[in-house]
């Protein structure tokens, strides 16, 4: 993707050639950082947070360059589900800052995400088709990201209206998940390039949103009980997806690097974080231990994906054994596609 002199082959300054799917590279370390914080591993959590913040700044620069210098490409990419990683990454990073007590910074990120969300969601919804890849579930992930961050800020600042807004986003996210599931190409489970894991990750972030709403003092009695059981059902379904997708990976091993593999790491980390959060909110203490195990699996997956990226980069060096091959192992798969 990069030519000599730090410029892309299309003449744009690097990293302005990154596809929208690169947003998942922010989501992965951000959610792992949040999980580590919930388990009390503060120093390691801060290290992952630093990686997430650095990548977020790189992608924000990339977003701005395309918006100012290449409106045609910006509009074309806004139609793809991967564009919603901008919203999802902003909300997940905001959640991590909220855990640190940086509520003002988290609120600023919530405002930014809420500003981006409607336009991108409408653009994506208008171009969804049948037999979509796993990225289609990002309509749910982005919406539930707003729900989680809103619920966290509502709890921190005792804002009942924001808790109700979080509940509305939570319900809308579930409807969007059902729509995405109806359009999902189930063949992706065995043939997907990595983003098929978002099918389970979207339920995991929905369960996380549900756990935050369940823990809110705004809901008591029957509404609280309904939220608790909904959270547990969503978490059980996300774990079922986890088992199914893991089994499919073992059956049809796909070791070559693809940028969409970051969308595999994110659901692994989100499932772990959802288990840890739900343990306290629902009173099922064993979920915390399960979440801890799943979190270390996510950390290992992140390290393996980093190693695969480094190996792919070495193969692409001039004169290397695989010079000229695409990073993904699929011709052109590192570039955005229109659906």
Find the radius of gyration of the CA atoms of the chain. 19
Q: How far is CA 217 from CA 10, 77, 206, 236, 331, in A?
A: 54, 41, 19, 24, 52
- What is the mean pLDDT of the segment spanning 139-164? 98
Residue 319: band (very low, low, confident or very high) from pLDDT cuts 50, 70, 90: low
Distance CA 313, CA 306 (A): 11
Distance CA 11, CA 14 (A): 9
Whether 98 contacts 153, CB under 8 Å: yes
* CB-based burial, 42-58: b 16+ in 10 Å, e otherwise: eeebeebbebbbebbeb
pLDDT at 317: 67
pLDDT at 132: 94
**What torsion, rounded to 10 degrees, do the Cα atoms 110, 115, 117, 118 define?**
140
pTM here? 0.88
For residue 247, the tally of other CB atoms under 10 A from its CB is 11
Distance CA 194, CA 239 (A): 17
Comparing 14-23, 165-174, 194-203, which segment has the lowest mean pLDDT?
14-23
8: pLDDT strictly greater than 70? no
Distance CA 339, CA 337 (A): 6
pLDDT at 324: 40
Counting every residue written for the chain, the total comes to 339
pLDDT at 315: 78
pLDDT at 22: 84
Distance CA 91, CA 75 (A): 22
pLDDT tens, position by position, 71-113 = 777 777 778 998 999 999 999 999 999 999 999 999 999 999 9
pLDDT tens, position by position, 240-293 = 999 999 999 999 888 788 899 999 999 999 999 999 999 999 999 999 999 999
334/142: higher pLDDT: 142
Angle at which helices 198-214 and 138-157 cross, to 10° = 20
Residues of the chain with pLDDT > 90, as a percent, come to: 73
CA 304 to chain centre: 18
For residue 13, the cross-strand partners are 7
User: Phi, psi (5° rounding) for residue 39?
Assistant: -90, -5
CATH architecture of 20-312: Alpha/alpha barrel (1.50)
Residue 1: band (very low, low, confident or very high) from pLDDT cuts 50, 70, 90: very low
């Amino acid at each position: 993707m990069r030519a000599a002199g730090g410029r892309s082959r299309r003449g744009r300054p690097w990293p302005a050639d990154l596809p929208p799917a690169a947003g998942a590279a922010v989501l992965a370390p951000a959610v792992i950082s949040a999980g580590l914080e919930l388990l009390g591993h503060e120093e390691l959590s801060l290290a992952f947070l630093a990686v997430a913040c650095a990548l977020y700044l790189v992608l924000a620069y990339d977003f701005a360059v395309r918006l100012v210098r290449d409106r045609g490409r910006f509009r074309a990419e806004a139609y793809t589900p991967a564009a919603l990683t901008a919203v999802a990454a902003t909300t997940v990073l905001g959640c991590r800052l909220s855990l640190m007590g940086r509520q003002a910074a988290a609120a600023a990120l919530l405002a930014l995400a809420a500003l981006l969300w409607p336009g991108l969601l409408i653009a994506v919804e208008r171009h969804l088709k049948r037999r979509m890849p796993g990225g289609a579930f990002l309509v749910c992930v982005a919406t539930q990201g707003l729900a989680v961050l809103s619920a966290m800020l509502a709890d921190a600042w005792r804002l009942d209206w924001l808790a109700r807004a979080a509940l509305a986003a939570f319900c809308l996210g579930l409807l969007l998940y059902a729509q995405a599931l109806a359009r999902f190409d189930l063949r992706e489970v065995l043939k997907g390039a990595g983003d098929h894991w978002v099918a389970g990750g979207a339920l995991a972030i929905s369960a996380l949103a549900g756990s935050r709403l369940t823990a809110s003092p705004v809901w008591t009695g029957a509404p609280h009980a309904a939220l608790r059981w909904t959270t547990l059902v969503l978490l059980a379904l996300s774990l079922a997806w986890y088992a199914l997708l893991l089994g499919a990976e073992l059956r049809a091993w796909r070791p070559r690097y693809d940028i969409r593999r970051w969308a595999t790491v994110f659901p692994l980390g989100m499932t772990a974080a959802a288990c840890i959060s739900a343990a306290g909110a629902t009173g099922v203490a064993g979920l915390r231990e399960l979440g801890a195990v799943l979190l270390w699996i996510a950390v290992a997956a992140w390290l393996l994906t980093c190693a695969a990226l480094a190996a792919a980069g070495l193969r692409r060096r001039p004169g290397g054994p695989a010079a000229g091959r695409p990073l993904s192992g699929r011709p052109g798969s590192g570039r955005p596609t229109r659906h």
